[in-house]
Structure 1
Amino acid sequence: MDSATPARLHVLLARDAPHAVVIRRGPSKHTAVIGWNRETDTFSLGQWLRGRIYERRCDLSPDGEHFLYFAMNGKWASSVKGSWTAISRAPYLKAITLFAKGDCWNGGGLFRYNHSYRLNEGLYAHALQWQDASLRRVDDADWQRQPGECPGIYYERLARDGWIAGVAYGDGSGGGVLPFDKPISDRWLLRKYAHAGPARHAGRGCYFDTHALVDRREGTTIAKDAWEWADVDRGRLVWAANGILGTTRIDTEGEPGADTLLHDFNAMKFERLVAPY
């Protein structure tokens, strides 16, 4: 793709295994899902979709084996009515459980355990097409937040995965920002600013994240506005910006070290691929 328009990246880390999926978007109607082995930092392409995957309404099972996602291709006369929630074998997209949606209200869900999940549904129901016998839907009555758009899933997932929410504040354009913190070391915090609002920002949309490193000893903050995704992976800092995935060494008492490139996803182009199942 045009180097002036970098790919957009979002990552889901399996919480009980060294696996992850990278959701790569770009151009806007092309989305790829890539597997990431976090022990070897190697990557394997799953499949492409001519459409949109709503990354903030997605989840990865704790063991990294299954990918729950909400997608839209706008083919409203199709059997899935143009949008759907599916569960696949990560990092592929071929559905082993499939729910037709027909709109973009709510959708997606969260894994509770490796083989049980909750849908983000509320008043806007799904229509089950088929379900893998090993997977079980559970009642969503115990959501900490009401089902809804991207924040309804995303903030719940962040809290589950160890992020501590702060106090929300306005962004000056009718939207809001909710900060989340996760410790990197005794000295350093990773801060995620989750932006949500009606205004669409170029290259980011109406839901996006920025980040900062917070030095708790000195009381200073290092802005990392270009990081569209970042997390702490078993003690190391990992981040995505401008279509690349990288890592930064953070010493317990020292300053942040040099950035290390893990993978550049910008040159990828759409391919028709068949899942091996």
Structure 2
Amino acid sequence: MIYFAMNGRWQSETGGSWTAISRAPWLKAIALFGKGDCWDGGGLFTSNRTYWLNDGYGHHLIQDSSEISRDTTYQIAGYYGRECLNVYYRRLQRDGWIYIGRESLERWKTLDLFEKPLAQGWILRKIAHAEIGSPPGKGCYWDEHELENTTAGVTLKHPDWEWADWDRHRLVWSRLGCLYIGYLSGHKLRDVRLINDFNHLSFEPRCAPY
């Protein structure tokens, strides 16, 4: 897993913030890049053993690993600023989402549309919000989703789906701390089933085994 973090210890080796690569679910780094500020940072995997670093400027290598290598040739269309979206939107496109465009609603409030074609003429649409003063329970970046079948003339809105994607032959989504699956027919989403409810889980500190 690749993550970007800050502890604000600006005189430390990392400069107070860093990008790390670890063996999920552990946080202990196998590769570590000091950053020193909160612009850019993070990255995404381009294969099982290569990764793209969202560098911009300022990263310095502290620790490397022979398990993985940095992909310096990876390119994808679009630039989405120096915060989270420059990683998130690139990851969506890496995973088959098509970027449709941006709508500016008011000052400090925009939404970006992504679509993924599914089976039987269905389209999964992701509405990605970026705003200050977001609704209760939402961060400054949050998503909602809808399903559309233009042939059948059906649109199913799901503003409470926090994440959704297509998994082989089924739709998978998260809502209120739970993971669900369902199947698409010509006019509806059917056979909806709860896979797991994660609401009872709590953080437990554990040392990485490496």
Same fold flag (TM > 0.5): yes
Across the aligned residues of Structure 1 and Structure 2, the Cα RMSD in angstroms comes to 2.1
Instruction: Report what 2:98 is aligned to.
Output: 164
Structure 2 residue aligned with 1:189, among 104, 123, 130?
Answer: 123
Instruction: Report what 1:64 is aligned to.
Output: none
TM-score scaled by structure 2?
Answer: 0.89
Q: Is the partner of 1:86 in helix, strand or coil?
A: strand
Provide the rounded CA distance (Å) in 2 between the counterparts of 1:103 and 1:214.
41
The answer on whether the counterparts of 1:239 and 1:247 sit within 8 Å (CA) in structure 2 is yes
TM-score scaled by structure 1?
Answer: 0.69
Provide the rounded CA distance (Å) in 1 between the counterparts of 2:135 and 2:12.
31
Quick one: structure 1 residues 106 and 201, their matched pair in 2 at CA, closer, same or farther if it must change by over 3 Å? farther
Query: What is the aligned residue count?
Result: 209
Deviates more, 1:218-227 or 1:136-145: 136-145
Quick one: structure 1 residues 213 and 98, their matched pair in 2 at CA, closer, same or farther if it must change by over 3 Å? same
Structure 2, unpaired ranges of 5+ = none
Shift in Å, 1:141: 7.4
The answer on whether the counterparts of 1:184 and 1:235 sit within 8 Å (CA) in structure 2 is no
| Aligned residue type for 2:66 | A
Identity %: 45
Shift in Å, 1:193: 0.5
Q: Is the partner of 2:166 in helix, strand or coil?
A: strand
Instruction: Report what 1:71 is aligned to.
Output: 5
| Aligned residue type for 1:233 | D
Quick one: structure 1 residues 72 and 118, their matched pair in 2 at CA, closer, same or farther if it must change by over 3 Å? same
The answer on whether the counterparts of 1:110 and 1:118 sit within 8 Å (CA) in structure 2 is yes
Q: Is the partner of 1:248 in helix, strand or coil?
A: strand
After TM superposition, the runs of 4+ consecutive aligned structure 1 residues lying more than 6 A away are: none
Provide the rounded CA distance (Å) in 1 between the counterparts of 2:30 and 2:135.
35
| Higher alpha-carbon Rg | 2
The answer on whether the counterparts of 1:168 and 1:179 sit within 8 Å (CA) in structure 2 is yes
* Higher RCO (C-alpha 8 Å, min separation 6): 1
Residue 99 (structure 1) aligned with residue 26 (structure 2): no
The answer on whether the counterparts of 1:173 and 1:199 sit within 8 Å (CA) in structure 2 is no
